[in-house]
Amino acid sequence: MAVAIEKSRLVSKIFFGVFWIAAVTPFFGQEFLPSVYEKLSSPLFALIDLVLILLGAWVIRSKKDWFILLSLVLITFVSTCILNDISILQYINGMRLYIGFIFMIPIVRYFFAEPERKQRFIEKFDKALYIFLWIQVPCMSYQCFLYGAFDKVGGSLGWMMSGVITTLIYLVSFYLMLRRWNKDKSYFQNLKDNWILVFLLFPSYLNETKVAFVFLAMYFFFLVPIDRKFIKRMVYVVPTIFIVLIGAGYVYLSFVDKNNANIFSKETLEIYLTGDDELVELVEYIMDNNIEEVDEVDFSRGLKFAVLPLILKREPHATAFGYGVGMYKGGTMFEKSKFAKQYNWLLQGTIMQAFLFMIELGWIGLGWYVLFWILNFRVQNKEYRNKQLQLYMLLTIFVISIYSCNFIIVPFY
């Protein structure tokens, strides 16, 4: 028993140590020690990856987790090393993007294995998440003042993490709101009692992450208890969401896009999601002539998804198995793969989770991704089910899958 307690405490210390290093180091390194951080950031996060691998391997017990681990290793190895003839070293480096999928849930499952351990973990984790939310206020305000309300406003996660930090802000605040929710009080009374968690959403509008409006609507919608009075509550919740979105839109335009009042127009959204006619023609020209060097650094999400089936058809195995892991790794310590060099224009800029699985592992990889979530959202014990949190998480995962690629970012795990 003493050994078990000692192990759980050690795992906890390592887990929260990694949590805080990954969560705050980028901001302080980039802002105050840029030259040092530039040299040490890659080795640091490689070390974090290694620690998570060792920690996950130490505590993994569930047959479900072993199935997830072994099936992913099999699929990725066949796709990468056998079908696409990519080296073992490049394969290992590319697998770093999948560490969160393989090892993070087994670590959390370990903490939940015993009641006392679970309670101790939840108390520490909730406190850490609350502090994490507060840290974003000064970090993102500082970045917004210094660089403007753009992608560099990534909070404590650092530059170019605007989408990741925005998603985390809403996830964390929503989770903590449900933890503090009093079922004996009304919807608005609970919001009033926990107004500080609503206030802590504010930093998400100090960058240009437009998906924040989707998360905001989801936030207030899924706080409504799912019971017999659900439809009745919609009578006042829907107008509330509408009013909140108008206010958020005003804040967004004040900080981000002061000169573009039509940013929410249908035409603007279509260009944002699928690109304009010039970009479409450019992609067609690139594909027809197999161009590798392209000046455009970030094609729209819709264009990337549209061209994906055509690219997968260029190799017999690619539709089923993709082009192997490591497309988004390499170039620093390892050479880029042949595909990554040829389609560098496609891999630059915005990455979407579903797109990543398709390009690297094909339809089989995407099927594994869907199965992963199905297996991990199946809660056998009704005592632990929280419909509001489950639905909010599922919809967030769907949005991330087609909009961004947060699950490859270490702090997001």
Judge whether 220 and 240 are in contact, CB under 8 Å. yes
pLDDT tens by residue, 235-244: 888 898 989 8
Write the CA distances from 125 to 3, 122, 176, integer angstroms: 23, 5, 10
The pLDDT of residue 407: 76
The pLDDT of residue 295: 66
The helix-helix angle for 387-403 and 162-180 (nearest 10°) equals 170
Report d(CA 217, CA 213) in Å as an integer. 6
Judge whether 131 and 3 are in contact, CB under 8 Å. no
The pLDDT of residue 333: 60
Task: Say what the pTM is.
Answer: 0.89
The pLDDT of residue 332: 56
pLDDT tens by residue, 92-117: 988 988 888 889 999 999 999 999 99
Q: Which residues of the chain have pLDDT under 50?
A: 1
